Amino acid sequence: MSVSTLDTPAPSANTRLTAALPWVAITATLIVLPLLFSSNSMISTLNYLGTMAIFALSYNVLLGQTGLLSLGHGTFFGLGGFIATHAILHMADAGVSFPLPLIPAIGGFGALILGFFGGWLASGRGGMPFAMITLGLAELVYAAAALFPSIYGSEEGVSFDRMDLGASFGMDYGPTVDIYVIIAVWFLICAGVLYYFSKTPLGLLTNAVRDNAERIEFLGFSARRVRMLAYAIAAAVAGVAGSLAALNFEIMTVNEMGATTCMLVLLMTYIGGTKHFFGPVLGAIVIGLMKIWLSDISPAWMMYFGLLFIFVVMVQPAGLAGILMDGIALLRSGSVGAQAPLLGLIGLAGAFALTGTIILIELAYRAGLDATLGPQITVLGLPLSTASVLSWGLGLICAGGGVIAMRPLFDRLATLRHSLSKGETA
Amino acid sequence: MSAEVITFSLLNGTLYGMLLFLLASGLTLIFSMMGVLNFAHASFFMLGAYFGYEISKIVGFFPALILAPVLVGLFGALIERYGLRRVHKFGHLGELLFTIGVAFVIEEAIQMIWGRSPMDYQVPEALNFTAFEIFGTGYPAFRLFMLIMSVAIFAGLALLLTRTRVGLIVKASLTHPEMVSMLGHDVPLVFMSVFGVGSALAGVAGVIGGPILITQPSMAAALGPILFVIVVVGGLGSLTGAFIASLLVGFIQTFAVAIDLSVADVFGLIGITQPPAALGALVSDIWNVSVSQVGPVIPYLLLVVMLIFRPMGLIGKRA
């Protein structure tokens, strides 16, 4: 049985052009970004977002493509980073000259090998057992790391100097922007490889395993092997991301492969949207920026993450990318004008609910965790106090009112859309 | 190892194992019911501990022992009714992700309300005495109380499930929900109740475990993975398996702490006192590792070994 017997029409020049368009746009964006945001801290932020985007893309090979929920993907991020770190340290010690930009290849290859082993253990079954085995493996590696201080360092981790390997490709890797170049190129490589992978026969098989593993077995494929390969590939790319993170921060700690990292990548990927190839990138950017900026403004940023995650899980499983795609489809449908008043009202109700929720959460944090800072707090420009019933009431009314108004508005929207579609066919 | 250490480790191992079983039993019941592992289960345990602490400040420990689990149980039932049941249409993945989100939010909410530092949740005065003495060392009454509570709940649960009509309906709903529904029982209500009772059991474990294990926001994250190890090692969906695995993990962890033996000691017996330098830094790492340090790793090692040799768990039907 071979897949190539399927007759697919050769893609015309036009469709090839449309297919290439996003990649051209991404490359252009990657070139323009450091020119627009040239301060050191901004480049540093971009570097972080880039590594997280690669990491989230790798995770989506499992979650979106193969339908496997891994709770231990951070392990490979961390292991890849440690492999890269030790590769640099050893080569610098031995005086070997090795171009720094190729270090992530070492980290990725190491993670690939480990990924095969982990995949062999974990891939026997999908679904719930898979999730738990990956969780167990991650906890095992994390707990065992404490026993090997010479590999993982103790509390303070293992640090190195990325300039020790010397200059190559015309860069000495001192400035952050040099690392940006490395990360941008690796992002293009990883995204390209993973996109290509999703179109290969194996990539299509992973989708089939997600949709109906039993049927795949009947067709003579081994679902286990497909899962294992997907796991190893995801691990390899996560290893690359981990190596890049190590290059960026010049330090690797055991916490990088702990439960927090495993959870973060799940949040990023799922919130971004698992059903579109670039959804995870969107998620990585949004969550990454939230993590950097929101943590400065609000003590409740982790709470917002959690609530956003629950919101996406309950209401919009296609994630932010799904919302974006719905919006584009709406614009193209040509019936925006008729729906605009209702959509505006829904938006207003949503804004009210969001404002109310933010007020309540900020007040609660000030009343609980940060009580020592005093009862006065300014939320979204409003002067509030944890001691006043009015402040709490305002939050409750906004949040409750917004949520209660939502249901009838959505019902009306559904009716309107129904009548619109009827009008089209008539 | 002396007889004293063995006796105390046996006692503490049974105690810890039974406490774990209080949690694992609810988790297993919920799993066999919905096919979903409730990630928030350890968070319900943590809620139990915090509620227990807060309520026992007002009305004392023993009323809190009833009130806190009831509150946690109600909270769990609400989560099932208005959360889990709605995401059911997105399949098991959606449900699992939902419970992960709930666990995340509960941990944050607890930090929001009670702060990040541990609570001063003390053993109640009425139970703060020495129950009995063996080998000249006293055994605290509170630990004995925990043991009795856990065993009593275990026995009660076993009787309820195997000897009563309610247990019959619950067990039938797990395997044949349509048929039970056809016979006129409200299956969604059964599911909600089982979820609530499972959460309440976790709450009980929290109230009685809080003073011994430290009541702090990270207690759920520390215990959660161990619970999953127990449920998998015991065999998914098997109560008996969960019971055996709970005790096993309880013993492993308490005995590992008690054994103060390192690799260096073993080699010291045959006269080698220094790690051979030729073998590098890795060996000298392992050289000083003692059994008590390996303790936290063993449950996960057990999980991996189990999955390689017996993927269906100790007493599991499904591979």
Contacts of A146 in chain B (CB under 8 A): 293, 296
pLDDT band at A426 (very low <50, low <70, confident <90, very high): very low
| Number of alpha carbons in the 13 Å side-chain half-sphere of residue B314 | 19
The DSSP 8-state label assigned to residue A203 in this structure reads H
Once rounded to an integer, what is the mean pLDDT over residues B276-301?
Answer: 72
pLDDT band at A50 (very low <50, low <70, confident <90, very high): very high
Once rounded to an integer, what is the mean pLDDT over residues B223-233?
Answer: 86
Contacts of B91 in chain A (CB under 8 A): none
- Shortest CB distance from A303 goes to which of B112, B236, B293? B112
Using DSSP's 3-state secondary structure scheme, residue A249 falls into helix
**Closest chain B residue to A210, measured at CA:** B93
| Number of alpha carbons in the 13 Å side-chain half-sphere of residue A183 | 31
The tokens of A147 are what? 């026993």
Is the Cβ–Cβ distance between B297 and B252 less than 8 Å?
no
Calculate ∠ Cα B4-B8-B10, nearest 5°: 115
Amino acid residing at A122: A
| Cα–Cα nearest to A50, from A66, A34, A74, A73 | A34
Q: Tell me, yes or no, whether B130 lies in a domain.
A: yes
Q: Tell me, yes or no, whether B163 lies in a domain.
A: yes
- Output the pLDDT for position A302: 83
Once rounded to an integer, what is the mean pLDDT over residues B182-208?
Answer: 88
- CA–CA separation, A78 vs A142, rounded Å? 10
Burial of A164 (0-12, 13-18, 19+ CB in 10 A): middle
- CA–CA separation, A25 vs A114, rounded Å? 34
Residues found in chain B: 319
CA distance B109 to chain A (A): 7
Q: Which residues pair with B130 in a beta bridge?
A: B140
Higher pLDDT, B286 or B7: B7
Segment 106-165 of chain B within 8 Å of chain A by CB:
108-109, 111-116
Whether residue A309 lies within 8 A of chain B, CB to CB, comes out as yes
User: pLDDT tens, B95-107?
Assistant: 888 998 999 899 8
Is the Cβ–Cβ distance between B121 and A349 less than 8 Å?
no
- CA–CA separation, B234 vs B180, rounded Å? 27
- Shortest CB distance from A148 goes to which of B90, B93, B285? B285
The tokens of B102 are what? 């709930």
The DSSP 8-state label assigned to residue B122 in this structure reads P
Does B96 sit within 8 Å of A69, measured CB to CB?
yes
pLDDT band at B271 (very low <50, low <70, confident <90, very high): low
| Cα–Cα nearest to B303, from B228, B204, B243, B239 | B228
Segment 184-243 of chain B within 8 Å of chain A by CB:
221, 225, 228-229, 231-232, 236
In this predicted structure, the answer to whether residue B48 has a pLDDT above a threshold of 80 is: yes
Contacts of A364 in chain B (CB under 8 A): 112-113
- Output the pLDDT for position A237: 94
Cα A414 to Cα A209, A318, A321, A338, A421, distances in angstroms: 34, 19, 22, 13, 11
Q: Tell me, yes or no, whether B56 lies in a domain.
A: yes
pLDDT band at A1 (very low <50, low <70, confident <90, very high): very low
Once rounded to an integer, what is the mean pLDDT over residues B29-49?
Answer: 86
- Output the pLDDT for position A4: 47
ipTM: 0.83
Whether residue A192 lies within 8 A of chain B, CB to CB, comes out as no
Once rounded to an integer, what is the mean pLDDT over residues B2-12?
Answer: 80
The tokens of B154 are what? 């275990």
Tokens 């921060």 sit at which residue? Answer: A249
- Shortest CB distance from B104 goes to which of A67, A300, A306? A306
Please state the pTM of the whole predicted model.
0.85
Radius of gyration of chain B (CA): 21
* Domain count within chain B: 1
- CA–CA separation, B150 vs B59, rounded Å? 23
**Closest chain A residue to B116, measured at CA:** A369
- CA–CA separation, B254 vs A345, rounded Å? 60
Does A128 sit within 8 Å of B37, measured CB to CB?
yes
- Output the pLDDT for position B167: 83
Once rounded to an integer, what is the mean pLDDT over residues B245-273?
Answer: 76
User: pLDDT tens, A163-222?
Assistant: 777 777 777 787 888 888 899 999 999 999 999 999 999 999 999 988 888 898 898 888
Q: Tell me, yes or no, whether B264 lies in a domain.
A: no
Tokens 């360092």 sit at which residue? Answer: A153
Q: At what angle do helices A176-199 and A201-218 cross, to 10 degrees?
A: 40
In this predicted structure, the answer to whether residue A3 has a pLDDT above a threshold of 50 is: no
To the nearest whole number, what is the mean pLDDT of chain B? 82
Once rounded to an integer, what is the mean pLDDT over residues B287-313?
Answer: 77
Q: Tell me, yes or no, whether B285 lies in a domain.
A: no
pLDDT band at B232 (very low <50, low <70, confident <90, very high): confident
Is the Cβ–Cβ distance between A259 and A74 less than 8 Å?
yes
- Shortest CB distance from A139 goes to which of B83, B96, B225? B225
Q: Tell me, yes or no, whether B272 lies in a domain.
A: no
H or E stretch covering A342: helix A336-367
- Output the pLDDT for position A423: 67
CA distance B296 to chain A (A): 7
Which structural domain range is residue B39 located in? 3-258
In this predicted structure, the answer to whether residue B187 has a pLDDT above a threshold of 90 is: no
Segment 282-301 of chain B within 8 Å of chain A by CB:
282, 284-286, 289, 293-294, 296-297, 300-301
Once rounded to an integer, what is the mean pLDDT over residues A243-256?
Answer: 88
| Cα–Cα nearest to B198, from B36, B312, B316, B56 | B36
Contacts of A143 in chain B (CB under 8 A): 296-297, 300
Q: Tell me, yes or no, whether B18 lies in a domain.
A: yes
User: pLDDT tens, A277-302?
Assistant: 888 999 999 988 888 888 887 778 88
Does A128 sit within 8 Å of B36, measured CB to CB?
yes
In this predicted structure, the answer to whether residue A59 has a pLDDT above a threshold of 60 is: yes
To the nearest whole number, what is the mean pLDDT of chain A? 84
- CA–CA separation, B150 vs A246, rounded Å? 47
Whether residue A128 lies within 8 A of chain B, CB to CB, comes out as yes
Direct distance between the N- and C-terminal alpha carbons of chain A, in angstroms, rounded to an integer = 47
In this predicted structure, the answer to whether residue A238 has a pLDDT above a threshold of 90 is: yes
- Output the pLDDT for position A425: 52
Percent of chain B with pLDDT strictly greater than 70: 88
- CA–CA separation, A156 vs A251, rounded Å? 9
Distance of CA B178 to the CA centre of its chain: 31
Q: Tell me, yes or no, whether B307 lies in a domain.
A: no
User: pLDDT tens, A316-342?
Assistant: 888 888 888 888 888 887 777 777 788
In this predicted structure, the answer to whether residue B159 has a pLDDT above a threshold of 90 is: no
In this predicted structure, the answer to whether residue B25 has a pLDDT above a threshold of 50 is: yes
In CATH, what number is assigned to the domain containing residue B222? 1.10.3470
- Shortest CB distance from B112 goes to which of A125, A309, A364? A364
- CA–CA separation, A125 vs A105, rounded Å? 30
Q: Which residues contact A251 (CB under 8 A, 6 or more apart)?
A: A157, A158, A159, A160
pLDDT band at A406 (very low <50, low <70, confident <90, very high): confident
